[in-house]
Structure 1
């Protein structure tokens, strides 16, 4: 009986009036989340996807518009926003990713506001803190892609839906429709929020007028985005690398989708969910609104993407459903408060345990090669520090990197390579209306080699050679030795005098 009374006092029936929220709750949680994501954001190397963001967003707007007709239309709105960001901030590792860190802060504030609308202040704040520490969120917060911004749109669209249901005025539904369109333009999967909101409307709407208000707003958003959704179907070749569904997909859903591969956090969250369920049953309490909304938010988009992947084209990849992370945070926040029985000390202790479990993954996300093992930034650093203006650049296009080819490496930090003579550069990405420059084989411009003071070659890492070495004529190694990128300069008398090796790449300096 005491458990029942205590649980009802903490979580209450959603219709019971809880203590008013403090206006600074959302603000301090937002600052905490943004700072947590931004910490260490400059350390990992830029990688293929982030190079795409920099390549697209830093070109003139007319050129960006033409490119979207060929590729990456699904990221068009994000590239436009980042074009404005890069007009103010440089396209470096930290500043590129800071945009996502700020977005995570805004999303965390939205989680607190939404939690307060659906439950109590304690649940709202706890969910906001959990959201800030969730591995998928700390990953998105330092990724120069649209994931974090899509989370912002998703959580505030859900907040707007709740408010529109309560106030039921045309201007609220108009705002909902506009934001739903914007969210879909940021991420096509965000349209899958509408079925989840349909469940919320069924649960929360107090009048037929409110239900019809949502139906009309959702229909307007769907109709407005249909041309975009159909057009983006023509660019599905971009995700041709995604594997069909298999037994491995189950692990991706359970461990990667919200926990970024952290089994410790996945197990802990499973235990929290189980303990929360047991506590609810013992208390005789049936949480309705928050749980129903959050479960619909998680399950319906995930099931829709899995269904599409099974019936048409494989498109399921864990990070594509990042916009459902607020729902997971709300459920975990509710579980922690339920288990802690409103005790601030117990809730804090559980949050500390969550933080400890997430720390190894958090640190790994901020390692130098955290982004799919890529080392674009390390290569650019070598060129920046050691190459002289007028030296020549050779890119070994025979590397087996995936995703590839090798030219995106230059696009990530173009200023580092601007001082070099890059005769292997074909028509530019702008000229081709594509993300990357074309590549010209090294033998096609061999006649220019005798005029190169030094040649800098970027090729694939060779595990048989040391990380760094110097000498008058270093051995090329089995990997580079068989590549035209080495053989052609060698015939002109160039010999390797210094080598740097990283995770994927090796960089060599050759002199005659």
Structure 2
């Protein structure tokens, strides 16, 4: 890596804007193609309410997403809901994250390192994935890079003016996802790192901090207060993470790969190798960069280790998808590693391997069924069904009617209970087949949608449908759900109706 160049604000900003535009085009390309995910259906369910209804819902579920839902409601109320408008804020957030990484890498290393770091961020499979989902992951990924950037700037250019932006971004980061607050211990410890000039006295009134670091420290602490209150309020809603399994050897083996490159171990190996080269360069050139290794390695590694530890000792909280806010550290280190290569042609060749390695997963991420198979379900029903066919639907797949009203036709949902607005919850209430058997009287065709994992419940209910005269075939199966069509003749309907249990 060449001798550190002066930080020319105009030049760095131009590079950051260029990477922002490139990333915007890359992650935005085809982002509207995949069918909406179940989590996106939760976003749609939340924002298609009045403000009072949204507040009532947050009393029961998803209070940790209150900030995200509120911002998305304001946005979608203005532009309307479509797959594109739902994901556009995530696309913009990913582009901002890459732009912020350019500035951060330029500050910590060199403008060329910043540029390469931004390009690494742009082609990171985790980043290109979260851009295709209308959830908060892309937002808190960008907020994490911005917070680190603000703290570094506050140290480089001491002023009390940094207190307010640091505290605001800290609150926003934690408000978007409380797990992202795991970045704060790293920043706090880094602020207490030894001063650059040996022997400089630490003032008691500055809490022993080197000069210029009190303002960002107080900003972090003040910004953390609403995050702690939010986490305390959410303690009664821990059922939201009941789906998370305890960490297994398989999941632990993928900590370093799936967090940054889902289903793309090659990209992860290449990126971490480049990051390791950046660490080697840092070990040899510490002057003027004291604490940088701790900052970047801590940012990249500590949150994952903390979640794994808590999951092993207390309750499962670790999920690879929650750690996208750590990707910025890997990008900066990889950018430094690429810049440390002395031969420009070799740097170019190494840098080119990352977009090539990410091409396969990028293509998969832009397929219709990348998130869920709802489009396939709708296509099957549209092809084989009648508009008024009744449906038996269950919670795992019921969200399809939120994201795609009418996708299952105009027929009644036989096992529907209380609607989501009256029960102040994300989804309608869904009843077991036994509770709605009388609604099958006279029905000759019915669609049955069931979670693939619920084999016991599905077996019992299909057995009962066959007892009532229905003959069924499975028309579509994915990793998450099965789609069955059951039919019976008029004579079978008459015989089966005699077997239906009357309520009470």
Does the alignment reach a TM-score above 0.5?
Answer: yes
- Judged with a 3 Å threshold, the aligned counterparts in structure 2 of structure 1 residues 427 and 323 are, in CA distance, closer, same or farther, namely same
Counterpart of 1:506? 483
Pairs within 5 Å for 1:16-35: 17-18=6-7, 21-35=11-25
Pairs within 5 Å for 1:166-315: 166-203=156-193, 208=210, 210-277=212-279, 288=290, 290-315=292-317
Among 104, 112, 124, the residue aligned to 1:122: 112
Structure 2 Cα separation of the partners of residues 511 and 278 of structure 1: 71
Q: Deviations over 1:284-320 (max 9, x none)?
A: 9896454442112123323332332233222111111
Secondary structure, in 3 states, of the residue corresponding to 2:121? helix
Counterpart of 2:374? 376
Structure 1 Cα separation of the partners of residues 154 and 374 of structure 2: 46
Root-mean-square deviation (CA), in Å?
3.2
Secondary structure, in 3 states, of the residue corresponding to 1:506? strand
- Judged with a 3 Å threshold, the aligned counterparts in structure 2 of structure 1 residues 205 and 75 are, in CA distance, closer, same or farther, namely farther
- 8 Å CA contact 1:112–1:127 kept in 2: the answer is yes
Counterpart of 1:470? none
Structure 2 Cα separation of the partners of residues 249 and 391 of structure 1: 42
- 8 Å CA contact 1:127–1:329 kept in 2: the answer is yes
Structure 2 Cα separation of the partners of residues 283 and 311 of structure 1: 39
Among 408, 413, 436, the residue aligned to 1:422: 413
Structure 2 Cα separation of the partners of residues 435 and 98 of structure 1: 22
CA offset at residue 186 of structure 1?
0.5
- 8 Å CA contact 1:446–1:488 kept in 2: the answer is no
Pairs within 5 Å for 1:415-494: 415-417=406-408, 419-442=410-433, 444-449=435-440, 455-459=446-450, 484=461, 488=465, 491=468
Structure 2 Cα separation of the partners of residues 298 and 141 of structure 1: 20
Q: Deviations over 1:89-147 (max 9, x none)?
A: 45444432232112101111111122222222111110000001111111111122210
- Judged with a 3 Å threshold, the aligned counterparts in structure 2 of structure 1 residues 383 and 93 are, in CA distance, closer, same or farther, namely farther
Q: Indicate the larger mover: 409-418 or 112-121.
A: 409-418
CA offset at residue 238 of structure 1?
1.8
- Judged with a 3 Å threshold, the aligned counterparts in structure 2 of structure 1 residues 126 and 382 are, in CA distance, closer, same or farther, namely same
Q: Indicate the larger mover: 385-394 or 112-121.
A: 385-394
Counterpart of 2:51? 61
Structure 1 Cα separation of the partners of residues 88 and 136 of structure 2: 12
Q: Indicate the larger mover: 44-53 or 381-390.
A: 381-390
Q: Indicate the larger mover: 86-95 or 178-187.
A: 86-95
- 8 Å CA contact 1:390–1:452 kept in 2: the answer is no
CA offset at residue 260 of structure 1?
1.5
Pairs within 5 Å for 1:111-150: 111-150=101-140
Secondary structure, in 3 states, of the residue corresponding to 1:426? coil
- Judged with a 3 Å threshold, the aligned counterparts in structure 2 of structure 1 residues 507 and 410 are, in CA distance, closer, same or farther, namely farther
Q: Deviations over 1:421-441 (max 9, x none)?
A: 223211011211211111134
Secondary structure, in 3 states, of the residue corresponding to 2:485? strand
Counterpart of 1:474? none
Query: Do residues 160 (structure 1) and 134 (structure 2) align?
Result: no
Q: Indicate the larger mover: 238-247 or 96-105.
A: 238-247
- 8 Å CA contact 2:19–2:99 kept in 1: the answer is yes
Instruction: For structure 1, list consecutive stretches of 5 or more residues without a partner in the other structure.
Output: 1-6, 398-403, 463-477
Instruction: For structure 2, list consecutive stretches of 5 or more residues without a partner in the other structure.
Output: 197-208, 490-504
Counterpart of 1:326? 328
- 8 Å CA contact 1:244–1:310 kept in 2: the answer is yes
- Judged with a 3 Å threshold, the aligned counterparts in structure 2 of structure 1 residues 316 and 480 are, in CA distance, closer, same or farther, namely closer
Structure 2 Cα separation of the partners of residues 156 and 250 of structure 1: 29
Counterpart of 2:499? none
Secondary structure, in 3 states, of the residue corresponding to 2:407? helix
CA offset at residue 201 of structure 1?
2.2
Give me the TM-score of the superposition, normalised by structure 2: 0.83
Q: Indicate the larger mover: 113-122 or 301-310.
A: 301-310
May I ask how many residue pairs the two structures share in their alignment? 473
Q: Deviations over 1:3-54 (max 9, x none)?
A: xxxx343xx2xxx624552533212211222222222323333332222222
Give me the TM-score of the superposition, normalised by structure 1: 0.82
CA offset at residue 235 of structure 1?
1.8
Counterpart of 1:391? 389
- Judged with a 3 Å threshold, the aligned counterparts in structure 2 of structure 1 residues 41 and 487 are, in CA distance, closer, same or farther, namely farther
- 8 Å CA contact 1:379–1:507 kept in 2: the answer is no
Counterpart of 1:409? 400
Structure 2 Cα separation of the partners of residues 253 and 37 of structure 1: 24
Structure 1 Cα separation of the partners of residues 354 and 116 of structure 2: 12
